A = this chain, B = another copy of it.
Amino acid sequence: MAKTNAAFMSGIPELVVLRLLSRSEMYGYELIRAIRLTSGESIVLAEGVVYPTLHGLEQRGLLKAKEKLVKGRVRVYYQTTAKGKKRLVAIENDWHRINNGVEAILRRLICQN
């Protein structure tokens, strides 16, 4: 468990990657910064997390990769596919459901066994 993230991270990389790349295409390094900045430093994913995630999502057809040569350096741009967007909707729903469940327990809206 990292000092910065500390638990509650399962599923998060897939969710945030699909979400950010559904809006605009990005390359890995850029995406890592975007996750950190957009989350207000709350979510910091190392390269060893993001790159395998990108490769996995691409293999599953949820992302599409495209190589570009920028300043003599190869960048791999990724973009969420239509299939990826469907998947995104599904896991967003899952995330909200789990979240509501936890909130209900923390706030104890309902009660009694």
Q: Which of B7, B26, B105, B113 has a CB less than 8 Å from the CB of A10? A: B7
The complex places the Cα of A39 from the Cα of B15 at a distance, in Å, of 22
The complex places the Cα of A4 from the Cα of B14 at a distance, in Å, of 19
CB of A86 closer than 8 Å to a CB of B: no
Q: Which of B8, B30, B94 has a CB less than 8 Å from the CB of A94? A: B8
Question: Residues of A at under 8 Å CB distance from B?
Answer: 5-12, 14-16, 19-20, 23, 26, 30, 33-35, 37-40, 42-43, 91-92, 94-95, 97-102, 104-106, 108, 110-113
Copies of the polypeptide in the assembly: 2
26 sample A-B contacts, Cβ–Cβ < 8 Å, listed by A number: A6-B11, A6-B94, A7-B91, A8-B10, A8-B94, A9-B11, A15-B102, A15-B106, A16-B105, A19-B106, A23-B108, A26-B113, A30-B113, A33-B113, A34-B113, A37-B112, A38-B105, A38-B108, A38-B110, A40-B104, A40-B110, A42-B97, A42-B98, A42-B101, A43-B102, A99-B99
